[in-house]
Amino acid sequence: MVFKRGEWPNVDDYAIAVATKVAAYGAYVTLPEYGDKEGFIHISEVSSTWVRNIRNHIHENLRVVVKILKVDPEKMHIDCSLRRVSNESKRAKNNEWKRAQKAEKILELVAKENDMTLEQVYEKLGWPIEDVFGEIYTGLERAVDGGIEALDEVQSTKKLKKQVADFAAQRIEIPSVEIDGELTISVPGPEGVEVIKKALTEGLAKGKSHEKSTTEIYTLGAPRYKLRIVSPDYKQAEEVLSEVLGLIQTQVEHDSGTASFVKK
């Protein structure tokens, strides 16, 4: 189970659904994020192409991503669509679901540690984390990266925040992005070797000034050098690469040399 803060989904939301009954006119589903409330997918919302056999598209116990079309709390009725979910939206929702499941497993550990119900931990810790970071799992990732101080703005007790930060550190591995490539440098004249050495040393120092990234430069045999950068995300990796290459190229070109980089 993964809890959602709202009791009902909103129109145009994407939700996880599990098919419970499939008929010729459509499929009934439950929405586990909303207390297993029942939804219905009319056959016209199953596929954008002609549906010869509805079971070719959905069958009992199949988990799918649906788009919410209509919500009627009085009638306890939710209309859903399968055909209006793009591949990109499907991937995004499934990723969100997996992250929410991982976050809930960690909150369950906090609940057990304090003899609390999971619902109580959501109220006292989970939702306050969501208020600050927009997503509970994002907050837990920040806690892994920055310790309990990353949760300073979260309105919860220090005890609960420390516990969740400790459990997160044990169970969450921060993903990383690697940029790897070959750097070719040439500087004419008798001082060329020293110019290259100085440029690479300063470029390496620039890369190492980014605490959350790792920069490596080593020779493949002059004039070829390996440049490798590992960062928490692609944007940061590109920023570090730009700074390192920019400094090296500036130093080298100042002495009439050339420096080029090819990604692997």
Which amino acid does the sequence have at 59?
H
Report the distance separating Cα 162 and Cα 157, nearest Å. 9
Closest of 164, 173, 245, 232 to residue 204, by C-alpha:
245
Q: What one-character DSSP code corresponds to residue 200? A: H
Task: Name the segment(s) of the chain with CATH classification 3.30.70.1130.
Answer: 177-263
Average pLDDT over residues 154-163: 97
What the block records as the tokens of 137 is 């799992």
Radius of gyration of the chain (CA): 26
SS3 86: coil
Enter the DSSP assignment of 62.
Answer: -
**How far apart (Å, rounded) are the C-alpha atoms in residues 215 and 207?**
5
At residue 81, does pLDDT exceed 90?
Answer: yes
CATH architecture of 177-263: 2-Layer Sandwich (3.30)
**b or e along 107-122 (b: 16 or more beta carbons within 10 Å of the residue's beta carbon)?**
bebbbeebebebeebb
Residue 175 in this model has a pLDDT that exceeds 80: no
Q: Which of 136, 241, 254, 138 is nearest to 191 (CA)?
A: 254
In one letter, which amino acid is 181?
G
**pTM score over 0.85:** no
pLDDT 10s digits, 41-56? 999 999 999 999 999 9
Q: Give the integer Cα–Cα distance in Å for 126 and 138.
A: 11
Q: For the domain 14-85, what is the CATH superfamily, name and number? A: Nucleic acid-binding proteins (2.40.50.140)
**Distance (Å, whole) CA 74 – CA 95:** 31
b vs e for 135-157, b when ≥16 Cβ sit within 10 Å of the residue's Cβ?
ebbebbbbbbeeebebbeebebe
Per-residue pLDDT band for 263 (boundaries 50, 70, 90) equals: confident
pLDDT tens figures, 132-142: 999 999 999 98
Q: Is the pLDDT of residue 1 over 80?
A: no
Is 88-171 a domain of CATH 1.10.150.190?
A: yes
Q: How confident is the model at residue 99 (pLDDT cuts 50, 70, 90)?
A: very high
Delimit the CATH 2.40.50.140 region(s) of the chain.
Answer: 14-85
Torsion angles phi and psi, residue 262, rounded to 5: -125, 120
How many angstroms separate the CA atoms of 137 and 249, rounded?
Answer: 40
Q: Where in the chain is the domain with CATH 1.10.150.190?
A: 88-171
Query: What does the alpha-carbon distance between residue 237 and residue 88 come to, in Å, rounded to a whole number?
Result: 24
Averaged confidence pLDDT in the chain: 93
For residue range 3-40, list pLDDT tens digits in order. Answer: 888 899 999 999 999 999 999 999 999 999 999 999 99
With 90 as the cut, is the pLDDT of residue 84 above it? yes
